[in-house]
Structure 1
Amino acid sequence: MSPATDRHPKVRVLGQDLRVAVRPGTEPGPPLLLCNGIGASLDVLQPFVDAVDRRIEVVRFDVPGVGGSPAPPAPYSFPMLAALVRRMMAALGHDRYDVLGISWGGGLAQQIAVQQPRRCRRLVLAATGTGSLMVPARPSVLRKMVTPRRYRDPEFARENAAELYGGSLREDPELVGRLLNAPERLGSSRGYLYQLLAGAGWSSLPALPLIRQPTLILAGSDDPIIPLVNARIMAALLPRATLHVYDDGHLGLITRAADLGPLVSEFLLAD
C-alpha cells in the first residue's frame, strides 16, 4: 500500500463504532487528528488532507451519528466525546498527536487540548469560536444552522450559501453542493441533534489561558457563522497562539486548501 493511500478501518471504542480514515505519513512523528464541523462527514475535508505535507499522518473520523458512524443511544457532551477520541487514537496506536478542529470540531479540539494536555502536542483552530460565550452570528444565520437541511437539500444549500458561508461561495454558490451534499456524507437527524446538544451551554472561554499547547488560529475575513472578532479574542487569551486571517469564508479550510494545507504543515513540522 502506498503511504499516500488512505486506510479506512472501523474502530469500536466504549461500545461505539466509529468510521475512521487514516492517511499514513512518510516519516515518523505525531499524526494530525482532524475534528470536523457539525453534520459534516470526514469526506468533506479531503481537499485539505490532500494539501497536507505527505510526511504527516492524517487521521479523520465521523463523530457518532454522522456519515458512517451510527448514532449512539443517548446524547453526549464534549468531555465524553474527547474521552472517546482518546480511546480511538489509542486503538490506532497513538498516544500523542496534533489536533485540528474546524467550526464545531474546533470546540472538540479545544476540549481535547484541555482534557489531554500530555497527548495533544499542537493545536490548530479553524473557523471556530469559544462556544456559548462568543460573539454570535446574525439571528438569520443561526436559524439556518440549527437544522441539517443544508446538507440534505441541495437547492436550499445553494440559495443560502452566500449568507451562511461567505467568502468564495458568494460568487460560486454551486460549489457548496460539491462540498457538502454527497449522499454518503449524510448522518441521521438524531446525530445532528446530539451534536447541537453537545455544544449547548459549553464554552472554552474560561479555560483558554490554561491551554499551553502552541496554537495556530485560522480565521476567514468573511465568515458569517464565526465572526472574525472571535478569533482575535481567542488569540489574545491563548498563551501561545498565532493568528492567521485568510481572505475567504467559513469553508476556507477546504476552498483554500492549497494555501492553508502547507501553512498548517509548516506549523506542525516546525522544531
Structure 2
Amino acid sequence: MESVGGRKLRVARWNLDKPSDHPPILFFNGIGANIEAVAPLAEAMSDRGFIMFDMPGVGGSPDPVIPYNTITMAWTATQLLDRYNLDVVDVMGISWGGGMAQHFAIQHPGRTRRLILVATSAGMLMVPGNPAALTKMANPRRYVDADYMAKHFKTLYGGALGNELGVDEGKNEHIDRLSPPSPRGYMYQLLAMIGWTSAPALPFMRKETLILMGDDDQIVPLINGKFLKSLIPNSELVVMAGGGHLFLLSHKEESVIEIKNFLDAPHGDDLSAAA
C-alpha cells in the first residue's frame, strides 16, 4: 500500500530494482480488474521493470472518497513514478485502461516514451460491441458470482479464452485471479470516462504507438483499433486472429513477442522525447 497524491493505493512492482537496458512499463488495467488479472503479463516481461496499481475501490485499494477523472488519475500516476524515481516509462493499457494510457501520454508527454493500446478505443466515439456482452460487462455480478461469470464467460470475452476448457465447470484461471471491486469503486471508475474521448488530441500526439486488437472481441470490436490507427500518426495495428477481449492472456506468447519487438525496435525516439 502506498499513499500517492492524497490517495492510498495498492501498488505492484516487478524488477524495478534490477538493472535493465529498457525503460519500465507503466500499466493501466481494465475496469474493475485487480492487479492479479495482469500478473502473468508482468511476469513474462522479466527483462524490464513493470509497475501498476489497483484503481480506488478496486482490488486492494480502498474506496475513493470523492470521484476522480482521467486528469487526476494521470497526475496520481506521475506521483507514483516520482516515488520510485522513474522519469520516463513506456505506457500500456487494456480496455478502460487503454483510455487512461492515451490520456497519460497526452497529458504527460515528457514522461512517455512509447505507447501500447490493447483492446481499447478512443472513448465515447467508440463503436460499441455485442449488446449481450456489454450488458453483462456492466453488471458487477460477474466479479462476485462465480457461476454467473462461468455461464457468461464466452459471451463476455469471446475468442480463444472464452472457448477454453473449464468454463462449463466454472473453473477458469482468469476467473480465479479476479476479486470484486466495491460498488463505489466500480461506479466511480465508470464515471471517470463519461464524456471522455481522446480523438481530438490523437492526431497531434507524436508517440510511437502499438495498437493490439482481437478480431473476435465482443466488447471492443476491431473497428475501434482501426479508428485509433487512423488518428495516431506514428502507430501500427496488430490483430490477433481468434482473439477475444482477453487475448492478452489467451495469446500471451504472441502478445509478448509483439510488445517486446515494438518496445525494443529502433524507432524514432527523438520524436517521442520532443512530443
TM-score under structure 1 length normalisation: 0.91
Which position in structure 2 is the counterpart of 1:195?
Answer: 189
Which position in structure 2 is the counterpart of 1:49?
Answer: 42
Q: Which runs of 5 or more structure 2 residues have no equivalent in the other structure?
A: 267-275
Identity of aligned residues (%): 42
Q: Deviations over 1:42-65 (max 9, x none)?
A: 11112212222x221111211111
Q: Which amino acid aligns with 2:31?
A: I
1:18 counterpart (9, 14, 18): 9
1:249 counterpart (218, 223, 244): 244
How far apart, CA to CA, are the structure 2 residues paired with 1:227 and 1:84? 30
Which position in structure 2 is the counterpart of 1:5?
Answer: none
How far apart, CA to CA, are the structure 1 residues paired with 2:181 and 2:162? 26
**2:227 counterpart SS class:** helix
Confirm whether residue 58 of structure 1 aligns to residue 53 of structure 2.
Answer: no
How far apart, CA to CA, are the structure 1 residues paired with 2:22 and 2:41? 19
Confirm whether residue 107 of structure 1 aligns to residue 107 of structure 2.
Answer: no
Q: Deviations over 1:67-113 (max 9, x none)?
A: 11111101111111111111111112111111110000000000001
1:26, CA displacement in angstroms? 4.0
Counting only pairs closer than 5 Å after superposition, residues 164-179 of structure 1 correspond to structure 2 as 164-172=156-164, 174=166, 177-179=172-174
Q: Residues 128 and 227 of structure 1: is their aligned pair in 2 closer, same or farther, counting only changes over 3 Å?
A: same
1:145, CA displacement in angstroms? 1.8
Which position in structure 1 is the counterpart of 2:227?
Answer: 233
How far apart, CA to CA, are the structure 2 residues paired with 1:174 and 1:211? 43
Q: Residues 108 and 79 of structure 1: is their aligned pair in 2 closer, same or farther, counting only changes over 3 Å?
A: same
How far apart, CA to CA, are the structure 2 residues paired with 1:157 and 1:151? 7
Confirm whether residue 38 of structure 1 aligns to residue 31 of structure 2.
Answer: yes
How far apart, CA to CA, are the structure 1 residues paired with 2:177 and 2:22? 33
Aligned-residue RMSD, C-alpha: 1.6
How far apart, CA to CA, are the structure 2 residues paired with 1:177 and 1:93? 38
How far apart, CA to CA, are the structure 2 residues paired with 1:116 and 1:162? 37
1:139, CA displacement in angstroms? 2.5
Which position in structure 2 is the counterpart of 1:186?
Answer: 180
Which position in structure 1 is the counterpart of 2:264?
Answer: 269
Q: Residues 170 and 182 of structure 1: is their aligned pair in 2 closer, same or farther, counting only changes over 3 Å?
A: closer
Which position in structure 2 is the counterpart of 1:29?
Answer: 22
TM-score under structure 2 length normalisation: 0.90
Q: Which amino acid aligns with 1:149?
A: R
How far apart, CA to CA, are the structure 1 residues paired with 2:203 and 2:166? 40
Confirm whether residue 131 of structure 1 aligns to residue 123 of structure 2.
Answer: yes
Which position in structure 2 is the counterpart of 1:90?
Answer: 82
How far apart, CA to CA, are the structure 1 residues paired with 2:250 and 2:187? 27
Report if aligned partners of 1:159, 1:173 keep a CA contact under 8 Å in 2.
no
Q: Where in structure 1 do 4 or more consecutive aligned residues deviate above 6 Å?
A: none
**1:118 counterpart SS class:** helix
How far apart, CA to CA, are the structure 2 residues paired with 1:82 and 1:45? 20
**What is the aligned residue count?**
260
Report if aligned partners of 2:120, 2:225 keep a CA contact under 8 Å in 1.
yes
How far apart, CA to CA, are the structure 1 residues paired with 2:265 and 2:73? 29
